[in-house]
Structure 1
Amino acid sequence: MAIAKMNKLKLISFQNQKNSILEGIQSLQSLELIDISAEYADVPAMRAANRENLDSLSKEWEGYYNEYQELLLFLRGYLPQQKILDKLRTPKETLTIQEMHEQLAKVDRDLITGTISKAREDLKNYDRVLDSLSEDEIFLAKWQKLTHLPNRTSDQAFIRILTGTVPQTTADTFIREMKENPLIFIEEVFQSKEEYGINVAFDRRDENEVVNFLNENHFTMLNYEFEDIPEIELKRISRERNQILEEVSVLKNQLKGMQNEEWVLKLLIETAYAKFQRIRAKKMLVDERHLFVLEGWLEKSKVDDIREVLEERITSDNFALVVDDVQDDEVAKVPTVLNNNRFISPFENITAMYSLPKYNEIDPTPFLAPFYLVFFGMMLADLGYGLILFAATAIAIKFFRLDKSLKKNLMFFHLLSYPTMIWGLIYGSFFGFELPVVLLSTMDDVNTILLLSVIFGVIQILLGLGLKAYLLFRDKDVLGAISDGVGWIVIFVGLIILILASMVFPNAFLATLGKGVAIGGVAAILIASSLAANNKAAGFGIGLYNLYGITGYVGDIVSYTRLMALGVSGASIALAFNMIIEFLPPLARVTIGILLFVLLHTVNIGLSLLSAYVHGARLIFVEFFGKFYEGGGKPLEPLTTSEEYIDLKNNYNG
């Protein structure tokens, strides 16, 4: 239960083995490559990889990856959809990179991607045509009463007919004036909220006067681009639409049967992602005419695995592997890998949310986990809520196919269900109803719960100070350990003895002893601060200022009262919800009352879960980590695959 020990690896091999070696490293998913291109810049025989060419190749394969993703997204829109529960229960396929390539070698990938791409373009074109037909149909539907081709009657000898629109106004001014004009005859074709569609007939001898009149009344000539009258064109559109819809239906039915093509796209996505990751990795290497060099970070426990990977792909006389321990000047560069058992590892997310520890720090996860369990349970504290959390997470973990991170998160909340149930039993609360046995009542024992909250807080603060002292002793800073850790622990112990001897178990001797211990802690801080400084007087002043930090510790201890406040408030809200339902008439209680019970308690569970999660983390980050923990470590970023659709088979269990 600590930070995994790391090694720095240097691998030298032949150029013609580079691709095979990188693929093997990728299958291990544990080695983070170090960019050494600048390190060997001054070595004449060595040269950095051709970055321009590799950048181009990387973009090319990333483009393939994105294209395959888009094709898969398109295809999935037409494939039969799995039921959600079936989908969650179906595990992902597990293959090696080599097995993926072998499966792809059996199919014509270009034909498959080309067919799906063409289907996508055809459907887009059909949509465009259908949209265009719909627009034409809307236009023609307005003018379907027309029995002639608009504005094409110029060959008539005496009469001219113009077709167009005039705006509709509140008083219908324009259309009324037109109808009253003796020089023209108006035939109304359609009327909408915005305009009138009309035919205007007039004597050709009056054309100039009529045209001026029409312009004054905002008449707009109809631009009719169709070959036949609207009625015939509408029938044509209907025929064309039916034909296109039939073709679309055939194409969609073809897409529905492309489950094999879906699998091929998943293979292509995984292999394309793996390929451009390996190309990017090549930019971190250094080449010689016949050889290449790579360096990376790897967990010490997996060094034998990488030897096994290499020996499977190339003979041992074709590579040289140098394994070094981490040097002091490399500590800041080493990635951090947390290595905890299955009960502690789910709490690594809390540590990572704050910041991973540096390689030379301690992993705070084993120390925060017990406190987070207790704090979360105290704040949620209901047997019913805990049972729901337990059942929901247990079913999901047992029966559903989950990725590693989601499974880890669910395990985190599953573990939290146990203290929730335990504290629910202690508080005697089951969905807000009081159990027959109540050890601590959230109504009557608030002061006791408050005292418990403070006690847990003091214990956690003392642990934080103890860890601080340990780290300083480890780094040979004895005086710092006394002034920043041991001295404060002694003060707290003395004050605890004094409080117990004065208020709980009255005893003059113990009270005096407590005072003496606390004063001894103060003296230790002042002396250690003075000895640590070159200027003793200034050091004494620093010690006094350090003692002023007691006010901060008071604030820290007060922060833990939220454990009581949130636990009591959640129980009170649950009780209030139950009282609301009890006010309903008997018949309503077993109908709408059940629905209200589920709805209201669902809201309370959600809010209580959120509060417990956030405030528990806040106590860890501020009150606990603030005493000893810095963080600032960086996670391991190994050369790996996406595992979005296919899990990578790993046969190495170092």
Structure 2
Amino acid sequence: MIVRMSKIEIVGPKEILYEVLTTLRALGVLQIEAQVRESLQARGEGLLKTLQIDKQALSERLFLEELQEKIESILSCLPQIPVRESYLNPEAAMEATAELVDRHTAACEETGRAKTAAAKELAELERFRTFLQAIGPLVGQVRADSDLEFIGLEVKDPGAVEQLTILAHRLTRGNYEIQTTSMPEGGLVALLTTSRELAKPLKKALQGERIPEFALPAYLEEVPFNEKAEVVESRRRELLAEQKRLEETLLGFARRWLPLYRSVLDWLRGRLALVRQSASIYQTELCFIVFGWMPTDQVVPTRRHLADTFADQVVVEEKEILEQELEQVPVALKNPPWIAPFELFARLLPLPRYSSYDPTPFLAIFFPLFFGMILGDLGYGALLGLIAAALVFGFRQRPLVGNAGKILGICAAYTCVFGWLYGECFGEFGHHVLGMEPICFDRRTALEPMLYFALSVGVCHVLLGLLLGVISAVRQKKTREAMIKLLSTVAVFCLVLLLATFILPVPVLLRRPLLVTLGIAVPLLLILGGILAPLELLKHVGNIISYARIMAVGLTSVLLAHVANELAGLAGNILVGMLVAVLLHAFNIVLGVFAPTIHSLRLHYVEFFSKFLEHGGRKFEPLEKNHGGGSWKA
């Protein structure tokens, strides 16, 4: 449900303003209102002004913001490891931190740059190492001769080998040797061997043909080819040792200084949040005045807490919420444990206005009902219940998955209930093996009763939505809108009863008063709502017909379960039949989760909520201990 809010005025001496704001921030129940309202005017507009920021306060704010930026910078350089909490008072340690942070940042950034450079060189060396490891065996196959020059090439296109052979033969007149091998990650490497005097023009020609020599670092140029791999490996070991040393340096620094910097940063963020909120606070010569919103059930505890903390120097007064302020009242949702998981679906919609309704309880009541009506199988419900239990108990640290599991568990219970009413357990398996019989009707054959049942549910759901719309309009004193919705409700109700007289065995005389009522309601609708009002009435009728999807989608699930059992029986082999049945039933369960979910949500979002729910509410964002703003949690 939507938490009831109160408009609050807090008054106290100017000298304890920040202490009061710090206390309110710790409580996390007050959203400060930035705009001046009628409460200010009643006190005398000329005596009130926004809290002025003097030079000292401005200097403090600039200092805090600069220090916050520096600490965030140094934290970005450090490994984010779990560390103990600092026992130092962050406010007292702030000045020392301001003196240290520049020197620490420079040292950490220098260490970070060295670590990055080492990692970059290691990545390049790994490429050289792979190349040299691939080409090394080829070098060993060439006869030892001091007059030979080795040219290593990375050949991306295998077709280039032939081009390379032609070029080398032309320039060296056959005084060369080419060997190729594959690289571990794909592609080819080639070793071209020729005399030293021919190597230079050959390299130049290769560059012209866009087959350049594999580029090795400068310090390897003078190293003999058969010794390059050993030098690369030695350099790699040095870099790995250097990288480990740098990581340990940063880790040791983080263990020593991270608790202090985190503690000071948290204090800075809170202090800056309070400083920024001061722009929304008003003052007289002696007092500060804070206006805001607070959950009604928190007013008395907050008043008592402030009185105990500040020896009755601070006054908390609850003000009347004016009608024109209703749209500005912030909205927070709070529901019992069995309803709260359905906020997962409610959050897919924009936040409702304070004067409207929380959609969560309606989803908690009707969504599982529609889900169970559609799926309606005892066996499927039991399996979904096991999956739900696994989600709830296996993902306790992930509330989103846990809430989805709770919703699935409630839906599974409804599925079992309707499966028992329909006499279904894995289709007709329950009838043939367990002796189950339909208590209500067999969905495969009783299509007409099932359709009437689905439409009856739709009538009740849509009429409830229209009635809630009437109540909402009355609460907001929108008389014309309330009358239009009431007449629409009466007209829909009469139309449904009129149609029922043609189906049910009821006296024909009942039709006359229904026709008379319709004859009065429809002209009144035209007068109050204009020409679009009857069209809106037809829309409501169309909404009711949409509930036929409950029957249609449910019938699809029943027939698929029947097909699974029939194919399993025709397999001619027990194992094959069981495999076919399991696969088809598993597919049906997957469809049985997604299809009812999608169609049930659509019936709520389109057919039901459109009748009464008003979106566009402001989120309740109180001063909060860790942020200075956020979502209030009960």
TM class, shorter-chain normalised? 0.7 to 0.9
Look up the match of 2:157. Answer: none
Deviation, 1:298, is 0.7
What is the aligned partner in structure 2 of residue 453 from structure 1?
454
Residues 133-172 of structure 1: matches in 2 within 5 Å?
A: 133-141=125-133, 142=135, 164=151, 168-170=161-163, 172=165
Q: Which residue of 2 aligns with 1:626?
A: 610
Residue 640 of structure 1 aligns to which amino acid in structure 2?
A: E
Structure-2 change in CA distance of 1:31 and 1:412 (3 Å): farther
Q: Is the 8 A contact 2:385 2:413 kept in 1?
A: yes
Pairs aligned (count): 586
Secondary structure, in 3 states, of the residue corresponding to 1:285?
helix
Residues 569/71 of structure 1: CA separation in 2 closer, same or farther (3 Å cut) = farther
- Distance (whole Å) between structure 1 residues aligned to residue 255 and residue 558 of structure 2: 54
Aligned to 1:92: none
Q: CA deviation at 1:623?
A: 1.3
* 1:96 aligned partner: none
2:169 is the alignment partner of 1:176: yes
Asked if the contact 2:395/2:402 (under 8 Å) is kept, the reply is no
Distance 1:257 1:426 in 2: 67
1:640 is aligned to 624
Deviation track 1:453-494 (CA, whole Å, cap 9, x = no partner) reads 111111111112212222333444555433x22323332333
- Give me the identity figure in percent: 21
- 1:418 matches 2:416: no
Cα distance, 1:320–1:234 mapped onto 2, change above 3 Å: same
Change (3 A) 1:607 1:134: same
Contact 2:150 2:225 in 1 (8 A): no
Rate the CA distance shift 1:455–1:163 in 2: closer, same or farther, 3 A. same
Within 5 A, what are the aligned runs for 1:336-351? 336-351=331-346
1:512-551 alignment, distance < 5 Å: 512-526=512-526, 529=527, 542-543=529-530, 545-551=532-538
Which of 186, 190, 203 lines up with 2:176 in the alignment? 186
Partners in 2 of 1:37 and 1:100 — Cα distance? 41
Q: How far does residue 236 in structure 1 lie from its aligned partner after superposition?
A: 3.3
Match of 2:497 in 1: 497
After superposition, the Cα gap between the structure-2 partners of 1:447 and 1:60, relative to the gap in structure 1 and judged at 3 Å, is: farther
Instruction: Give the TM-score normalised by the residue count of structure 2.
Output: 0.75
Q: Any idea what SS the aligned residue of 1:549 has?
A: helix
Q: Distance in 1 between matches of 2:531 and 2:207?
A: 94
AA in 2 matched with 1:496: V
Q: CA deviation at 1:374?
A: 1.6
| Structure-1 separation of matches of 2:396 and 2:438 | 40
Pairing 1:229-378 to 2, within 5 Å after superposition? 229-242=224-237, 245=240, 272=265, 275-276=268-269, 278-286=271-279, 293-311=289-307, 313-317=309-313, 319-378=314-373
Q: Secondary structure at the match of 1:197?
A: strand
The question of 1:560 aligning with 2:560 is answered: no
Deviation, 1:332, is: 1.8
Shift of 1:635: 1.9
> 1: CA distance between counterparts of 2:196 and 2:113?
48
The 2-side partners of 1:409 and 1:268 are apart by 38
Q: Given that residues 379 and 425 in structure 2 are in contact (C-alpha distance below 8 angstroms), is that contact kept between their aligned partners in structure 1? A: yes
Question: Aligned-pair distance for 1:135?
Answer: 3.3
Q: C-alpha distance in 2, partners of 1:44/1:649?
A: 29
Query: Cα distance, 1:560 vs. partner?
Result: 0.8
Supply the distance in 2 between the matched residues of 1:400 and 1:233 (Cα, whole angstroms): 53
Deviations 1:114-168 (A, max 9, x none): 9999997776455334323323334545378779xxxxx9xxxxxx876647873
- Relative distance call for 1:501 and 1:558 in structure 2 (3 A) is closer
Provide the rounded CA distance (Å) in 1 between the counterparts of 2:480 and 2:200.
Answer: 108
Q: Which residue of 2 aligns with 1:487?
A: 487
Query: Whole-Å Cα distance in 2 between the matches of residues 494 and 208 of structure 1?
Result: 100
Contact 1:37 1:48 in 2 (8 A): no
Instruction: For residues 371-415 of structure 1, give each alpha carbon's deviation from its aligned partner in whole angstroms, at most 9, with x where no partner exists.
Output: 223212222322233233333434554575346665544433333
Shift of 1:302: 0.5
Q: Distance in 1 between matches of 2:429 and 2:327?
A: 54
1:217-274 deviation per Cα after TM superposition (whole angstroms, max 9, x unaligned): 889688764243233342233344345556767998999999x959x96997688467
Q: CA deviation at 1:568?
A: 1.5
Cα separation, partners in 2 of 1:46 and 1:637, compared to 1, 3 Å: closer
Is the Cα–Cα contact under 8 Å of residues 386 and 421 in structure 1 kept in the other structure? Answer: yes
2:594 to 604, 610, 613: 610
Question: What's 2:143 paired with?
Answer: none
**C-alpha separation in 2, matches of 1:562 and 1:266:** 59
TM (norm. structure 1) is: 0.73
| Cα offsets for 1:603-632 (capped at 9, x unmatched) | 433333222222212111221122222221
- CA RMSD in angstroms comes to 4.9
SS in 2 for 1:360: coil
Give the structure 2 partner of residue 539 of structure 1. Answer: none
Asked if the contact 1:380–1:608 (Cα under 8 Å) also holds between the matched residues in 2, the reply is yes
**Letter paired with 1:612:** P
In structure 1, how many angstroms separate the alpha carbons of the residues matched to 2:406 and 2:427?
26
Structure 2, gaps ≥5 residues long: 141-145, 154-159, 183-187, 431-435
Equivalent runs, 1:570-585 vs 2, <5 Å? 570-585=557-572
